[in-house]
Structures are given as structure tokens and as C-alpha cells.
Amino acid sequence: MAKAAQKLVGLGTRLGTSLATQGPKVAGDALQWSRPRLSKFWYYARVELTPPMPADVPAISKGFSKIVDSAKTGKFMNLTVKEAWVNTLVCAEVAFWFFIGEQIGRRSFVGYNIKSDYEPHGYI
């Protein structure tokens, strides 16, 4: 018991000294590694991922009316297969945002974690 306690104390002191001596260097290296990648992310996100602003409302309503108009007059049948495929992918992406939102709302990646007295049987 005493030996285990001694080992734990030794481990603690070694962790402490290594944190003090190498911590700043490791943190600096991590910052340096992440800086170009973060800047690249910002470069694209600033243009592509910004949420819609109130200034976009006319463009949004125009886009909607264009889609409704194309459905009403049958113009959508003149789309090429490639364009239709691209539109399908865009709709799929919007659907995926919904599912990510659902994961955030239920605070779990897979399934709903409900507190209950249910004990699932193990497989081992």
C-alpha cells in the first residue's frame, strides 16, 4: 500500500515537472500547427458558412419564387441530368444539417439517452 502511494507521488511529481518544463513548448507547437489550418478554415467559412443575414431576404424570396415558378410552368423538366443530380445533392446536404441539429438537440450521437431502470443484457 505504501509502495503504491510512493509510486503515485513519484508519478505526480514527474508529471508536474514535465508540465512546467515542456508544457509551454508543447502548447506553442500546437498553436503553430493549428494556425495555418485555422486560417484556411476561416478563409472558406467566412464566405461559405455564414448564416443568412436580413440583407439576403430579397434574394431568398427570389430564389423561392424561381423554384415555385419552375415547378408550375414545368420548366424543371428542361434541367440536364447533371444539374438535377447537383440539386439532389444540395437537398441531401440540407437534410443532413437537420439530422446534425437533431443530434445536438437530443445531446447524443446515436439514439436518445433516456434515464430509466432498464438494464440491457451484456453480450459477454
Partner 1 sequence: MAPAPVAVSPLIKFGRYSALLLGIAYGSRHHKSLQKKEDGILARKEQAKAVEEKKKVAAEAGMIYRNAVKV
CA–CA dist 27, 38 (Å, integer): 16
CA 29 to chain centre: 25
Cell of 98: 437537420
Instruction: Decide: 76 and 70 in contact? Cβ < 8 Å.
Output: yes
64 in contact with partner 1 (CB under 8 A): yes
- Of residues 98, 109, 122, 123, which one binds partner 1 by CB under 8 A? 98
Judged by CB under 8 A, the chain residues 13 through 52 that form the site for partner 1 are 40, 43-44, 46-48, 50-52
Among 72, 103, 112, 109, smallest CA distance to 64 is for 72
Nearest CB to partner 1, comparing residues 112 and 123: 112
Cell of 73: 410552368
123 in contact with partner 1 (CB under 8 A): no
Nearest CB to partner 1, comparing residues 73 and 116: 116
Q: Enumerate binding residues for partner 1 (CB under 8 A).
A: 40, 43-44, 46-48, 50-52, 56, 59-60, 63-64, 90, 93-95, 97-107, 112, 114-117
